[in-house]
Amino acid sequence: MYIDEAAKEKFSNKVLDRVKSTKLSFMDCIIELSEEMNIDPSTAGKLITRPIIEKIQIEARDRHLLKNGKTKKLPID
């Protein structure tokens, strides 16, 4: 399914506006907007821009939902 850049920008701007006005997380705002617009959340994932994806990754790391890329090892030689 092809999604044009204008649709991505429009949806992403709605997400940003919702985050600013409600102070909810990016993921929560995306889910809310998906429900309001009758869009499947997996489709909504295709409508977000790279900067929002990066912000979602940061939120997930802050909540310990994603690993930060570093493996934790005991300092044993």
Q: pLDDT, tens digit, for every residue of 9-19? A: 999 999 999 99
- pLDDT category of residue 27 using cuts at 50, 70 and 90: very high
Helix residue spans in 4-75 (DSSP H): 5-22, 26-36, 41-44, 50-62
pLDDT at 74 over 60: no
pTM over 0.85: no
Whether 19 and 29 have beta carbons less than 8 Å apart is answered as yes
Spans of all domains in the chain: 5-62
